[in-house]
Amino acid sequence: MKFSTYLEQIAGVSIYPVVSLAMFVLFFSIVVYRIFLMNKEEIRHLENLPLKD
């Protein structure tokens, strides 16, 4: 018998992969959305940090 057969006895185990995917998509969308709101001046400062030391 397959291992997954026994695993199915855990209540709601199938939700795990779905929840994890949903969490990532949500997290990723927020990061991308906010990044495009970034201020250009600030980016210029940040990206030049290694060149200024």
Q: Residue 40 CB, nearest distance to another protein (Å)?
A: 10
The rounded distance, in Å, linking the Cα atoms of 16 and 34 is: 27
Q: What track of x and - describes contact with another protein for positions 1 through 40 (by CB under 8 A)?
A: xxxx-xx-xx--xx-xx-xxx-xx--xx--xx-xxxxxx-
Three-state secondary-structure class, residue 26: helix
The rounded distance, in Å, linking the Cα atoms of 28 and 24 is: 6
Residues that bind another protein in the complex, under the rule CB under 8 A: 1-4, 6-7, 9-10, 13-14, 16-17, 19-21, 23-24, 27-28, 31-32, 34-39, 42-43, 45-51, 53
